[in-house]
Structure formats: C-alpha cells, structure tokens
Structure 1
Amino acid sequence: PRTGPILQPNMVFTIEPMINAGRFESRILADKWTAVTEDGSLSAQWEHTVRVTPSGVEVLSA
C-alpha cells in the first residue's frame, strides 16, 4: 500500500490478472515472457488497458 507513483489523469497502464485452478504460485519461464503455475494447474490470464480520468478510469481495450 502507498508505494509507487500516484495515479494522475491521462496515465495509461495495463491490468493483467491471472486465475489459477490450483495454487497461486507462478513463475516466468526462461523466455522471460511465459507465465506458468508452479503446481502445473490450468490457468487463465486476460488484460485490460485503462486510462486514468479525472473521475475514474476508461477501459481502452474492451
């Protein structure tokens, strides 16, 4: 909590949640891109790119 920059209007970033059928632990493979679960369980990942607005956020990738 309270770490990193304070979000300001017009900042854009991506939220990339990952839901695992098993445990939450995950790791990145040697290709430095592929994420897998430590226990080998199935997993789903999706993302949204959002822009901070003066009154909230705007989803850019819907």
Structure 2
Amino acid sequence: MKRIIADAEQCMSSGMCALTAPDHFDQDDEDGRVVLLAEEAEDGDGDVADAVRLCPAAALRLEPA
C-alpha cells in the first residue's frame, strides 16, 4: 500500500491527475487545483503511479503507507 501526497499549493491545475487516475484525484471547481479523493493506492496501481509521473508541477508523490 502507498500513501498519496498531493500539494495543492504547488499544483498548476493541468488536470493530468484527474484524467489519469479519476478514482484518486479530482480538480477543485473554483481554481482547478488537485483534490485528493483517496489517500492510499495499492502497490500495483499503475494509474496513480502514472499520474504522479505525469504531473507537470511535481505536486504529487507516493510514500510507503
């Protein structure tokens, strides 16, 4: 299990996370910044790992739970 960390202050509202892993991420209706829907991801969850990798602001990371 991995813990998902999302830094909304660092987010640039690109929406890549919400498009890549919509079960885990959304965007705020007002400013478009990342909203974390789930605080953990399974170790083999490729969608979350892809979202972390694709984030242009490097506002997402995974840590051991």
Structure with greater strand share of residues: 1
Structure with greater helix share of residues: 2
Instruction: Please say whether Structure 1 and Structure 2 have the same fold, judged by a TM-score greater than 0.5.
Output: no
The structure with higher relative contact order (CA 8 Å, sep 6+) is: 2
How does the TM-score come out when normalised to structure 2? Answer: 0.28
